[in-house]
């Protein structure tokens, strides 16, 4: 990218920074502004020398009282949020012009580029058409709590982004420009005057409403917008038109359904979320229908339509009024159910097909009388929304941990005098489960619920299955079993659904998370496929979820990545041999260590044949806002998913060479051992995490409804992957993303033959290219000097200081090994925009790191202080904004 293309980004950053400075002087006084500016200039000067000069910054920060510390933290945090807005706006600007944004490796491979490559590869248009027609991309919005910014601030930041976009207009008058500047100042002032910190932890229903808001404010517009862009590219490529209602993108959610380790997600919560989603969908379609009523005033209609309406000068409006009335009834009935009130009479929509049939009638009529251009307008957008969102808005997944299902069945077998299910071996469990799945009689009746065998945990599992039975299949997605290990884990959920009276069962999806479980996943699924009763139930397709977060926490980034690859490869082969379509569900997070990577890189790094036109992916936390928070950005990212899935299906990467496989085995043996030597075997690691990082303080931040730990107390094993990553990111050590990998690379690079293989892998194998690129990006965000300051301020324990020195040495060796592998002297030399993005943030994140360490020390000395706690939370949120990810 040329420097000229980056000029608007730099100008936007300067503009927003200038307005923030003006607000600071107005609201906090020149003294605070001067303090902030002095600290910023010192940080800039420090960074210009190549590393942060702590002593100079410390001299500036130490004398500040608690109140001033809070205001300084707020100032730097606000700037980082504004810098993110400027970057996001720059992406929108470049996407619109189809230019390459080198900070995002996806953007030069949009659908047009992919279709051109397919043509050059002599792939038949009929093959492209067939894949597109059956293409399925399902994005699952999750309740993982990594969005630190309050919704009220997000709305203000969105308004700032809109104003930046308006300023790009080339025909602005001076008066219009001045008015935009005034409005920009107003929004930044409003943001400064708003508390950054969420004071109350959101409930699961709050989280679900946040997901609904993303659809209402962005995706509702983005889906038809992206479909029009995709359609235009297909026409340009000379491909035949796809069906009018073709939408390859669907959305699902875990918000209100993910109960794994979250006691706040109950059966009643899930029921309410499902009803709220139906209410929201009816309300959104009502708005569409009101617009159609205003526009479809024409009188020419088909005989088919007139047979429904009778003679009329405005037959379309007659049909639409009936649709409107029915949607109103649907919305009113959902509201009554939510509030536990009597339902109003009237005919509601029970399925999306009912609404689609009525809209299709209008569509066919318009096309038959020569009004196709009208049909291709708002009506087509509404029909596409209906095919994407249905009348349930989102398909809700249920997720529960495998032992909870086993406990429920153990209670039932003990109640029936059949023995202890929990103590049976796998063979006996399978015999029992298969026999009961075929048995027509109920296993237990309502009497069971009144016994001591049915404790609260067991009752909750069964009540959840009863909600599944009540709601029907249209609003439900997958029943995901976390920590799945054995075939009985899958059959157990199938039996529990049968016990609850589910007539159309949810598909059961095992989630393989740890290193051992990923390695054993192909055997587990093969055992199931070799059971005729099971195979018959999944003939139309099976979904398997691959866990990125816990596998990386268990084995380190490199070991987990290779285990995920091999597991998917073996699963793909097994299901192909059985003739059953396989959909792989990728449980990715935003951070590198949790599988986060650009869309195209992520899909093309999968084993060849594993995508096969179908992909399901989680979208988590702040990534939902970054990728889908604004309609134009969301539309672009949806097109990227379609393009990358098409490319990965028709032009998959080649099979890895035998020497590459052997090298990966050697690398991962070393990396897993090195990672676990620290994380599992070093007794000082847990103390270091809790002393030097803000891991314990993170629990004070009201991020999400789910507890940070699966179980109270305990070590790293009980800590969830998100706070595990979040804590290391805050001190810029980024440990989960590189620990062990550097040792493995360093060892291989010492041997000339292995070094040659590694360089070939990084040039020719998309999987390993992705590993190297993402490792380079995360290492560029790390900073050993920042990490050491936390130590200097927070501990005098020789053991912890020794561990910190060892970790920083490991990090330095990892950077060196990566530079040796890539041949680049500086990290991100091949990605100047990303490098600039990190560097422009450093003078603002540096003071926040120092402030955070100081605040942690003061809080630990005093025990509790509301002002210090507020300031600490601001630094956490600000550093998260500066790093552009949390967990």
Q: Does residue 379 sit within a domain? A: no
- Residues 756 and 856 placed together within one structural domain of the fold: no
Examine the residue annotation and report whether 849 is marked as an active-site residue of this protein: no
Q: Does residue 763 sit within a domain? A: yes
pLDDT at residue 152, as a whole number? 79
Q: What is the largest CA-CA distance in the chain?
A: 90
- Residues 856 and 783 placed together within one structural domain of the fold: no
Beta strand segments in 488-613, E: 507-512, 542-547, 582-587
Q: Does residue 518 sit within a domain? A: no
Q: Does residue 625 sit within a domain? A: no
pLDDT at residue 881, as a whole number? 83
Q: Does residue 450 sit within a domain? A: no
Q: Does residue 38 sit within a domain? A: yes
pLDDT at residue 149, as a whole number? 63
Number of domains in the chain: 2
Q: Which position has the token pair 């209609």?
A: 301
Rounded Cα distance, 577 and 848, in Å: 55
> How do 476-482 and 507-512 pair as beta strands?
parallel
Q: Which residues pair with 482 in a beta bridge?
A: 401
Q: Does residue 752 sit within a domain? A: yes
- Residues 783 and 809 placed together within one structural domain of the fold: yes
Do 595 and 640 form a contact (C-beta atoms < 8 A)? no
Three-state DSSP at 874 gives helix
- Residues 684 and 766 placed together within one structural domain of the fold: yes
Neighbours of 75 (CB within 10 A): 27
Do 162 and 83 form a contact (C-beta atoms < 8 A)? no
| The domain boundary residue, chosen from 830, 853, 877 | 830
- Residues 801 and 868 placed together within one structural domain of the fold: no
- Residues 849 and 823 placed together within one structural domain of the fold: no
- Residues 784 and 850 placed together within one structural domain of the fold: no
pLDDT at residue 703, as a whole number? 55
**Phi and psi dihedrals of 735, rounded to 5?**
-55, -45
Q: Which residues pair with 614 in a beta bridge?
A: 136
Neighbours of 76 (CB within 10 A): 26
Q: Which residues pair with 792 in a beta bridge?
A: none
- Residues 775 and 856 placed together within one structural domain of the fold: no
Examine the residue annotation and report whether 503 is marked as an active-site residue of this protein: no
**Phi and psi dihedrals of 256, rounded to 5?**
95, -5
- Residues 876 and 758 placed together within one structural domain of the fold: no
Residue environment code for 559-578, b if the CB has 16+ CB neighbours within 10 A, otherwise e: bbbbbbbbbbbbbbbbbeeb
Catalytic residue chosen out of the listed positions 156, 380, 553, 781: 553
* DSSP-assigned letters across all residues of 422-491: GGS-HHHHHHHHHHHHH--S-S--GGGGGSTTS-HHHHHHHHHHHHHHHH-STTEEEEEEET--SHHHHH
Contacts for 877 with CB less than 8 Å, ≥ 6 apart: 77, 148, 149, 196, 197, 701
Q: Which is nearest to 48 in space by CA: 851, 846, 852, 588?
A: 846
Q: Which position has the token pair 């990923």?
A: 518
Rounded Cα distance, 743 and 813, in Å: 8
Blockwise average pLDDT, block size 10, the chain, 887 residues: 66 90 93 90 77 75 87 90 85 63 49 94 95 96 63 84 88 91 94 80 87 93 95 93 90 93 92 97 98 95 95 95 97 96 94 96 96 95 96 96 97 96 97 95 90 95 95 92 96 96 95 94 97 96 90 88 95 97 83 56 89 92 82 91 95 94 97 94 93 85 53 59 83 92 95 95 93 89 90 94 96 94 82 75 87 91 84 88 65
Phi-psi region for residue 251, left (φ > 0), alpha (ψ -120 to 50) or beta?
Answer: beta
- 467 is written with which tokens? 């909600």
- 616 is written with which tokens? 């399901």
pLDDT at residue 423, as a whole number? 96
- Residues 693 and 808 placed together within one structural domain of the fold: yes
* DSSP-assigned letters across all residues of 352-374: HHHHHHHHHHHHHHHHHTT-HHH
Contacts for 127 with CB less than 8 Å, ≥ 6 apart: 650
- Residues 752 and 861 placed together within one structural domain of the fold: no
To which H or E segment does residue 600 belong? helix 599-604
Rounded Cα distance, 192 and 185, in Å: 10
Three-state DSSP at 660 gives helix
Rounded Cα distance, 525 and 479, in Å: 16
Three-state DSSP at 246 gives coil
| The domain boundary residue, chosen from 830, 853, 875 | 830
pLDDT at residue 549, as a whole number? 76
Rounded Cα distance, 531 and 524, in Å: 11
pLDDT at residue 2, as a whole number? 47
Catalytic residue chosen out of the listed positions 90, 95, 109, 144: 144
Rounded Cα distance, 99 and 94, in Å: 5
61 is in which domain, residue-wise? Answer: 1-99+152-194+845-887
Rounded Cα distance, 693 and 856, in Å: 9
Q: Does residue 449 sit within a domain? A: no
- Residues 853 and 825 placed together within one structural domain of the fold: no
């Amino acid at each position: 990218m040329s420097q000229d293309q980056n000029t608007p980004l730099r100008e936007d950053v300067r503009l927003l920074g200038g307005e923030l400075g003006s607000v600071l002087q107005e609201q906090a006084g020149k003294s605070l502004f001067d303090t902030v500016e002095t600290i910023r200039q010192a940080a800039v000067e420090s960074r210009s020398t190549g590393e942060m000069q702590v002593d100079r910054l410390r001299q500036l920060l130490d004398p500040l009282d608690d109140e001033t510390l809070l205001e300084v933290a707020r100032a730097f945090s606000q700037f980082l949020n504004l810098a993110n807005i400027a970057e996001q706006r720059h992406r929108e600007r470049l996407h619109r012009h189809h230019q390459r944004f080198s900070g995002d490796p996806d953007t030069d491979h949009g659908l047009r580029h992919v279709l051109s490559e397919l043509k050059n590869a002599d792939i038949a248009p009929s093959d492209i058409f067939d894949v597109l027609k059956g293409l399925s991309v399902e994005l699952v919005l999750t309740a993982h709590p990594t969005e630190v910014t309050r919704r009220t601030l997000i709305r203000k930041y969105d308004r700032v982004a809109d104003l930046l976009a308006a300023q790009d207009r080339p025909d602005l008058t001076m008066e219009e420009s001045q008015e935009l500047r005034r409005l920009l100042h107003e929004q930044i002032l409003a943001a400064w005057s708003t508390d950054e910190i969420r004071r109350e932890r959101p409930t699961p229903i709050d989280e679900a409403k946040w997901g609904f808001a993303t659809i209402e404010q962005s995706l509702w517009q983005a889906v038809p917008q992206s479909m029009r862009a995709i359609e235009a590219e297909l026409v340009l490529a000379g491909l035949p038109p796809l069906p009018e209602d073709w939408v390859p993108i669907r959305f699902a959610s875990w918000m209100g359904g993910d109960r794994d380790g979250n006691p706040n997600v109950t059966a009643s919560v899930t029921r309410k979320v499902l009803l709220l989603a139906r209410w929201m969908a009816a309300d959104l379609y009502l708005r569409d229908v009101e617009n159609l009523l205003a526009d479809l005033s024409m009188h020419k209609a088909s005989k088919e339509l007139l047979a429904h309406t009778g003679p009329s000068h405005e037959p379309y409006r007659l049909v639409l009024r009936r649709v409107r009335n029915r949607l109103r009834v649907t919305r009113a009935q959902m509201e009554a159910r939510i509030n536990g009130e009597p339902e109003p009479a009237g005919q509601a929509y029970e399925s999306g097909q009912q609404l689609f049939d009525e809209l299709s009638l209008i569509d066919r009529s318009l096309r038959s009388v020569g009004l196709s251009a009208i049909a291709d307008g708002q009506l087509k957008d509404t029909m596409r929304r209906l095919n994407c969102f249905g009348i349930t808005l989102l398909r809700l997944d249920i997720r529960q941990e495998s032992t909870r299902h086993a406990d429920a069945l153990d209670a039932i077998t003990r109640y029936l005098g059949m023995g202890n299910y929990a103590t049976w071996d796998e063979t006996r469990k399978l015999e029992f489960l298969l026999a009961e799945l075929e048995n027509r009689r109920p296993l237990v009746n309502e009497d069971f619920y009144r016994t001591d065998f049915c404790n609260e945990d067991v009752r909750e599992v069964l009540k959840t299955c009863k909600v599944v039975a009540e709601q029907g299949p249209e609003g439900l997605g997958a029943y995901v079993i976390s920590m799945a290990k054995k075939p009985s884990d899958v059959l157990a959920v199938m039996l529990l659904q049968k016990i609850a009276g589910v007539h159309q069962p949810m598909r059961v999806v095992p989630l393989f998370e740890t290193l051992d479980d990923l390695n054993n996943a192909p055997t587990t699924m093969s055992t199931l496929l070799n059971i005729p009763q099971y195979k018959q139930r999944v003939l139309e397709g099976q979904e398997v979820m691959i866990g990125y977060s816990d596998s990386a926490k268990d084995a380190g980034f490199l070991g987990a990545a290779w285990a995920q690859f091999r597991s998917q490869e073996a699963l793909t082969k097994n299901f192909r041999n059985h003739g059953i379509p396989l959909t792989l569900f990728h449980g990715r997070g935003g951070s590198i260590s949790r599988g986060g990577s650009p869309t195209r890189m992520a899909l093309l790094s999968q084993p060849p044949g594993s995508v096969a036109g179908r992909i399901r992916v989680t979208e988590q936390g702040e990534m939902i806002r970054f990728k889908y928070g604004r309609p134009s950005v969301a539309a672009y990212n949806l097109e990227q998913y379609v393009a990358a899935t098409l490319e990965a299906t028709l032009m998959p990467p080649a099979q890895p060479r035998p020497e590459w496989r052997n090298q990966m085995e050697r690398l991962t043996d070393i990396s897993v051992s090195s990672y676990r030597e620290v994380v599992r075997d070093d007794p000082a690691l847990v103390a270091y995490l809790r002393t030097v990082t803000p891991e314990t303080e993170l629990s004070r931040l009201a991020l999400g409804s789910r507890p940070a730990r699966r179980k109270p107390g305990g070590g790293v094993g009980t800590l969830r992957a998100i706070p595990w990553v979040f804590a290391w990111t805050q001190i810029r050590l980024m440990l989960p993303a590189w620990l062990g990998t550097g040792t493995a690379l360093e060892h291989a690079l010492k041997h000339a033959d292995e070094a040659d293989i590694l360089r070939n892998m990084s040039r020719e194998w998309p999987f390993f290219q992705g590993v190297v690129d993402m490792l380079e990006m995360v290492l560029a965000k790390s900073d050993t000097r920042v990490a050491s300051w936390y130590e200097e301020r927070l501990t005098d324990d020789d053991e912890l200081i020794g561990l910190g020195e060892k970790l920083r040495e490991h990090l330095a060796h990892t950077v060196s090994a990566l530079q040796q592998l890539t041949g680049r002297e500086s990290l991100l030399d091949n990605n100047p925009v990303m490098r600039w993005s990190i560097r422009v943030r450093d003078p603002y994140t540096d003071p926040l790191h120092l402030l955070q360490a100081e605040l942690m020390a003061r809080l630990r000395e005093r025990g509790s202080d509301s002002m210090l706690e507020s300031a600490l939370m601001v630094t956490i949120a600000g550093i998260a904004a500066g790093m552009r990810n949390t967990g």
